[in-house]
């Protein structure tokens, strides 16, 4: 299909400056906003695949609605508007280069009113956008300065937890959509003139400590206490839980995805290693050329999907560790 281009904030490639274009400016593919499944974006998957993945697809779908309500009140402690959230989602989708995802978030963002045109608002949006792009594609460059800049533009602890959950989640969603498109044999779509550099890998941490304030037991509400008790016993979430618990509903759904996307990893094969490597570094290039060799060597399709999904989820958690703390 021929690429269509429009001016204004409906661009497929998102600009950080606030833009008060006319409200009739359309996104690249306006119909992409209208989907029944906001996580899989209405990909026509075989029923048996959907059923096999329902354990983690259900909380992933719920997270879409929790992270991206079409309207949300803001206050002193929760300053992220619907525009801020969708703008961040589009930035990460662009960094991953999965066009179906970019079309969707561009279409959702286009009709929303942007921030005012003050210098402070533009600086805030630019800083969030820069941080989101870096954590999504170059997590190795995130340092104390990058973290502190979010605080300097007025983001609260709750905002910082939410914005990092959005970045991790959209990276996960982009890779899952890429996996299922590869399963269906969809061709990789390239945006002319828009080259995406391979993503770098987050540093691995044997011992990790949080830098963001944790939830203090004496101030925790009942939901936070319940989530703390539940997820601190899960090894993959143990260290992150006291920080993520500022937003316990998001933590609960993240944990449900974790529990339902685990699989015993078989003896690593060259085909599996190559598939995970490309999915991790260049989700925009992942295709049937990487997926088909997995089933050709005897892996069931559902099992191959679970293994790849697990690697995508690990990337989400690793970015949260980069965002919220450092190696001891």
Band of residue 1 on the pLDDT scale cut at 50, 70, 90? very low
User: Rounded distance, CA 115 to CA 18, Å?
Assistant: 6
Band of residue 202 on the pLDDT scale cut at 50, 70, 90? confident
User: Rounded distance, CA 79 to CA 257, Å?
Assistant: 27
Contact 214, 324 (CB under 8 A): no
Over residues 103-153, the pLDDT tens digits come to: 999 999 999 988 888 999 999 999 999 999 999 999 999 999 999 999 999
Predicted structure pTM score? 0.90
Average pLDDT over the chain reads 88
- Is the pLDDT score of 161 beyond 70? yes
Instruction: Give the pLDDT of residue 194.
Output: 58
Residues 293-300 have a mean pLDDT of: 91
Over residues 63-89, the pLDDT tens digits come to: 999 999 978 999 999 999 999 999 999
- Is the pLDDT score of 2 beyond 50? no
């Amino acid at each position: 299909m021929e690429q269509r281009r429009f001016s204004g904030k409906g661009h497929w490639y998102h600009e950080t400056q606030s833009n008060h274009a006319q409200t009739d400016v359309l996104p690249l593919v306006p119909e992409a906003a209208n989907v029944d499944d906001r996580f899989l974006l209405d990909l026509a998957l075989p029923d048996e695949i959907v059923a096999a993945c329902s354990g983690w697809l259900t909380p992933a779908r719920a997270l879409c609605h929790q992270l991206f309500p079409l309207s949300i009140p803001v206050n002193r402690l929760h300053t992220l508007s619907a525009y801020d959230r969708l703008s961040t989602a589009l930035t990460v989708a662009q960094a991953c280069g999965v066009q179906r995802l970019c079309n969707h978030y561009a279409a959702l963002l286009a009709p929303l009113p942007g921030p005012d045109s003050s210098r402070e608002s533009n600086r805030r949006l630019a800083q969030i956008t820069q941080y989101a792009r870096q954590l999504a594609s170059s997590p190795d460059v995130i340092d104390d300065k990058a973290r502190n800049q979010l605080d300097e533009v007025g983001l609260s602890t709750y905002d910082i937890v939410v914005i990092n959950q959005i970045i991790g989640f959209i990276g996960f969603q982009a890779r899952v959509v890429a996996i299922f498109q590869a399963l269906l044999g969809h061709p990789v779509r390239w945006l002319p003139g828009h080259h995406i550099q391979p993503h770098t890998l987050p540093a691995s941490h044997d011992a990790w400590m949080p830098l963001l304030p944790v939830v203090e037991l004496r101030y925790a509400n009942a939901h936070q206490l319940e989530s703390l008790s539940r997820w601190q016993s899960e090894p993959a979430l143990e260290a992150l839980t006291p920080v993520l618990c500022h937003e316990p509903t998001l933590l609960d759904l993240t944990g449900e995805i974790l529990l339902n996307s685990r699989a015993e990893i078989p003896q690593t094969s060259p085909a599996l290693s190559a598939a995970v490597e490309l999915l991790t570094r260049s989700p925009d290039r992942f295709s049937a050329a990487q997926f088909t060799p997995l089933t050709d060597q005897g892996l069931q399709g559902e099992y191959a999907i679970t293994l790849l999904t697990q690697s995508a989820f690990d990337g989400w958690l690793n970015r949260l560790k980069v965002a919220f703390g450092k190696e001891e």
